[in-house]
Chain A
Amino acid sequence: MNISKKIVVLGHFGVGKTSLIRRFVENSFSNDYRVSIGVHILKKKVEVSVDETVSLIIWDLEGTDNIAAIRQSYLLGTHGVIYVFDVTRPITFQAIEEDLTALKSKVRNVPMKVVGNKLDMVVEEEVKKVLLENKISFDYLTSAKTGDKVNDLFEQLAKMLTLDAKQI
């Protein structure tokens, strides 16, 4: 059985959305920053169990510090959301609560993963402490550069999506 699921990846600009996707899809990384505009869509098949694959249709959105301003059409029919912030730039996670609330009102009832990226640039324990102090909960801390937890992130989400599909 081959099903396909649409996920959108969003968050502030420069947090590494494109890099995470590129790491997952092509297993490559670049230090250069090429700002994304609008949306770029990629596809990748993920094996969720021995005889089951799912095609992830990944929408790489233009970064924004204003979730409310995201074009509604990009979110149409999405099955999952990845919200990325940058652990080295507090401005990208300071208002995360409001961002996620705004987001949940735009895409209802779909699984959402919160990801702190660029873990390679910091000491994990310290970042965890800071995030805890600021009461910021997250699902993954990743590094697009080293690839740390990137596959886990997408594969876990893919599994959740297929489970969801079965339950319906």
Chain B
Amino acid sequence: MLNKFKEEFKKHKLQFISTDLNGIVLETDQTLLPIEKNVDIGTIHPFFFNLSEVLNIEQEKAVFHCIQLGETVEELTVDIEIYRKEDHFLIVIENLTEHYLNYQSLAQSRNETSIDSELVLLKNLELQERERFKNEFIQNFSHELRNPLTNIIALTNILQRSRLTEEQEGILDVLKNATSDLKLMLEDILSIAMIAKGKLALNPSVFNFEQFLEFLRLTYTARAKEKGLDFSISTDSAIPNYLEGDRLRLLQVLTNLCDNAIKYTEKGNVKLQVKLNQKRANTVSLRFSVQDTGLGISTENLDRIFESFEQLGRTEGAGLGLAIVKGLLQLMGSTIAIESTVEEGSHFYFDLKLNFPLHVPEIPNIDNARLKTVRKEKYSVLLVEDNEQVQTSLFKSLIESGEFFIDVVSDGALVMQEIIDSGYDIILMDVNLPNIKGDQLTKVIRSFPFKNIKNIPIVGITANSFEEQLRAYKKAGMNAVLTKPFDELELIKTMRRLLK
């Protein structure tokens, strides 16, 4: 041990050199560098260039660590000490090549790793930025589409109530189907963009699971039949009748899966199965599965089918359905799995944990028929809206319902005067008004000292579907907020509820 240490120590060879103050060598040995007497040490190696100037202004001793005297570290790497005496320099060179070689390889891997991780980080940032930009764009774009679509839906509804020939009715049916498809697609696109941006929140409530499945059964039996397919649902009697969860989002997941299954199956059947995995105090774990006898998906495509927009072109027609399924399930804490064989069929499944209420709740039945009952009294409505198209279509559908008197204002600044002068039962307000924003206006109304004004129900209308925005509008004092495109029935229902 001691010997080894001694060896190591001996390897640290030293060379001593003395020069005059101009760098001319006075005395030296040749241990490391072949230096002769009387030469300018500056010509031996650029390190020694201008030695006097380097040390002129400085103190009597300087230590330079890790000076690479050769072309590479391996050749000769040293520490150099220079002492400044009265009329000469004393230079001590210590060979530490081996020591510094170790340090070099350490630094090499440290730096390489550091740069690698930097690049990974950068790459991620870039991807995120692109993703963000894409989603922003898509979201804005679909918002733009909502306004005209709302008008089309409203006007189509009005048209349907006028006297039409059979042929016209047929055309109108096609028109209605097309617009409702368009609306669905638009919602799909928005869902994806919102899931991606983390802007979509779940909205859980208690719902009747039996009815839920029944709805799916009716819808898809009919649709499957059109293609000559069988559709069946099997479920487990041990599953509670009422469950708590986001019914709409679950519906969105299952309809997407069933739609796809039917779309890609030419003969055979599509099966929706719900099985109980586990039941605890007040939670159940359910296995949902959708199985078809369709085209199937090849292994190399399996990874891609869940990706969104980029893939649109390549997997033709597959649309956004599966990307939405993936995103929504992620939101619900689940993941989709898939088994598929080309030409034999596909099997999509996922497990979902849901709460269930211990007591069967009373759930109001939404009954469309009630909409038809004509009311005796009429309410006066103030419609605050600057977009003429929306104005017209809302105006028409409200008039048609026969329940309302309507005044229209298009400038937010005039609203207050109008309210004070005329007194209204309800206000319908576009949130995005030119001069003043609808939510600010609402705040003003809510702060009014007179009860009859302060408490007027306000329904906001917006193309914005961010949860947090909607919440902010409600916080400002709006009683309800409708997101475009909405159905006129939805609007009238909301108004009735508030007028009760």
Q: Which A residues contact B (CB, under 8 angstroms)?
A: 4, 6, 13-14, 33-43, 55, 57, 62-63, 71, 73-74, 76-77, 89-91
Contact B67 A76, beta carbon cutoff 8 Å: no
Within 8 A of A (CB), among B48-83: 49-50, 53-58, 62-68, 73, 77
Do B58 and A37 touch across chains, with their CB atoms under 8 A apart? no
* B32 contacts chain A at the CB level, 8 A cutoff: no
A89 to B370, CA, bound (A): 65
8 Å CB interface, B93-112 against A: 100, 103-104, 107-108, 111-112
In the complex, A76 Cα to B62 Cα: how many Å? 9
B122 on the A face (CB < 8 A) = yes
Contacting A71 at CB < 8 Å: which of B45, B57, B65, B111?
Answer: B65
Closest A residue by C-beta to B101: A37
Let me know if B50 and A77 touch, CB within 8 A: yes
A43 CB contacts on chain B under 8 angstroms: 46, 49
- Cα A35 to Cα B107 with chains together (Å): 7
Are A89 and B50 also in contact (CB < 8 A) when A34-B108, A37-B104, A38-B65 are? no
B66 and A4 contacting across the interface, CB-CB below 8 Å = no
A14 in contact with B55 (CB, 8 Å): no
Name B's A-contacting residues (CB within 8 A). 45-47, 49-50, 53-58, 62-68, 73, 77, 100, 103-104, 107-108, 111-112, 114-115, 118-119, 122
Closest beta carbon of chain B to A117's beta carbon, Å:
14
A71-B65, A90-B122 known; A37 and B107 CB under 8 Å? Answer: yes
Chain B residue contacts of A57, Cβ below 8 A: 46, 49-50
From A6, A38, A77, A91, B118 is in contact (CB under 8 Å) with A91
Given contacts A57-B50, A73-B64, A77-B50, 5 further A-B contacts (CB under 8 A): A14-B115, A35-B112, A41-B47, A74-B64, A76-B58
User: Are B62 and A41 within 8 A (Cβ)?
Assistant: no
| Nearest chain B residue, comparing its CB with the CB of A5 | B50
**A39, B67: Cβ atoms closer than 8 Å:** yes
User: Which one, B53, B62, B100, contacts A73 given CB within 8 A?
Assistant: B62
User: Considering residues B45, B68, B114, which has the most beta carbons from chain A within 10 angstroms of its beta carbon?
Assistant: B68
Complex CA gap A126/B115 in Å reads 22
State the CA gap A91–B66 with chains docked (Å).
26
Contact across chains for B118 and A41 when beta carbons are under 8 A apart: no
11 cross-chain CB contacts under 8 A: A6-B50, A14-B115, A33-B111, A37-B68, A37-B100, A38-B100, A39-B67, A41-B45, A43-B49, A57-B49, A73-B64
The one of A4, A37, A42, A73 in contact with B103, judged by C-beta atoms closer than 8 angstroms, is A37
A63 to B110, CA, bound (A): 12
Residues of B within 8 A of A38 (CB): 65-68, 77, 100
* CB <8 Å contact, A13 and B111: yes
State the CA gap A160–B100 with chains docked (Å): 35
Chain A residue contacts of B63, Cβ below 8 A: 73
Q: Chain B residues near A90: list those with CB within 8 A.
A: 122
- Please, how many angstroms separate the alpha-carbon atoms of A43 and B44 in the complex? 12
Query: In the complex, what's the smallest C-beta–C-beta distance from A12 to chain B, in angstroms?
Result: 9
Residue of A nearest to B112 (CB): A33
Q: How far is the CB of A129 from chain B (nearest CB, A)?
A: 15
**Which residues on A sit within 8 Å (CB–CB) of B54?**
6, 76-77
Q: How far is the CB of A64 from chain B (nearest CB, A)?
A: 10
Specify which chain B residues have a CB less than 8 angstroms from the CB of A33 in the assembled complex. Answer: 111-112
Knowing A6-B50, A14-B111, A62-B107 are in contact, say whether A77-B64 is a contact too (CB < 8 A).
no
Partner of B49 from A4, A71, A74, A91 at Cβ < 8 Å: A4
Q: How far is the CB of B130 from chain A (nearest CB, A)?
A: 15
Could you tell me if A62 and B66 are in contact, using CB atoms closer than 8 angstroms?
A: yes
Q: Which residues of B contact A77 (CB under 8 A)?
A: 50, 53-58
Complex-state Cα separation, A14 to B118, whole angstroms? 12
Q: Which of B49, B56, B57, B118 contacts A89 (CB 8 A)?
A: B118
Is A40 a contact partner of B68 (Cβ separation < 8 A)? Answer: yes
> How close is B94's CB to chain A, nearest CB, in angstroms?
13
CA separation between A34 and B67, bound complex, in Å? 16
Question: Are A35 and B46 within 8 A (Cβ)?
Answer: no
B46 and A41 within 8 A (CB): yes
Known contacts: A38-B67, A73-B63, A91-B118. The answer to whether A63 contacts B111 by CB under 8 A is yes
- Chain B residues within 8 Å of A89, by CB: 115, 118-119, 122
**Chain A residue at minimum C-beta to C-beta distance from B119:** A89
Expressed in whole angstroms, the minimum distance between the Cβ of B77 and any Cβ of chain A is: 7
Residues of A within 8 A of B68 (CB): 36-41
Q: Which residues of the partner chain A approach B67 to less than 8 Å between Cβ atoms?
A: 38-39, 41
B436, chain A: closest CB distance, angstroms: 34
| Contact residues in B for A4 (Cβ distance below 8 Å) | 49-50
A91 contacts across to B, CB distance below 8 A: 118
Closest chain B residue, CB of each to CB of A42:
B46
Chain B residue, CB-CB nearest to A86: B115
How many whole Å from B97's CB to the nearest CB in chain A? 11
Contacts of B49 in A (CB 8 A): 4, 6, 43, 55, 57
- When distances are taken between beta carbons in the complex, the residues of chain B under 8 Å from A76 are 54-55, 58, 62
> With A and B bound together, what is the CA distance between A71 and B122 in angstroms?
31
Of listed A33, A34, A38, A63, residue having the most chain B CB within 10 A: A38
Instruction: Report A49 CB to chain B, min CB distance, Å.
Output: 21
Q: Report the bound CA distance from A90 to B123 in whole Å.
A: 12
The answer to whether A37 touches B55, judged by C-beta atoms less than 8 angstroms apart, is no
B309 to chain A, nearest CB (A): 25
Contacts of A13 in B (CB 8 A): 107, 111, 114-115
